[in-house]
Amino acid sequence: MIRRTLLALLAAAPFGLAPAQAADFLPYTPEALAAAQKAGKPILVEISAPWCPICKTQKPILAKLGADPRFKDLQVFDVDFDSQKPALKALNARMQSTLIAFKGETEVGRSVGETQPEWIEGLLEKVL
């Protein structure tokens, strides 16, 4: 993924083109989520596990949507299902492959096990 981004930047450099802004993909901490919520940011919390096939399907969809200019202000927090059990409890999440959308401090949508790009995009549009 990083290699593709670098290649795209190098290819665009001679033409003076700036890369499109993308969503911020951040590691989850309760403090980081609270700060983003307090600031009124559009937020997606992604609960995933490295062994989860659905999570592996969701990741490239989220990366593609994160590159869309509509979602340039989106902050995506990744919660590890196996190691961040207190976060799961705080977010009331029981399964990996859970996506939780927040508009500031308000939860506006939740999805579990969704792999259809249009449905995930619809969830993200709720935070705009």
Give the pLDDT confidence of 33-76 residue by residue, as tens digits.
999 999 999 999 999 999 999 999 999 999 999 999 999 999 99
Measured between its terminal Cα atoms, the distance across the chain in Å is 26
Would the pTM count as exceeding 0.85?
no
Each residue of 70-110: pLDDT tens digit? 999 999 999 999 999 999 999 999 999 999 999 999 999 99
Residue 7 included in any domain: no
CB 43 within 8 A of CB 127: yes
Residue 3 included in any domain: no
**Confidence check: pLDDT of 2 > 70:** no
Q: How confident is the model at residue 21 (pLDDT cuts 50, 70, 90)?
A: low
- Give the residue numbers spanning the domain of 59: 21-125
Residue 8 included in any domain: no
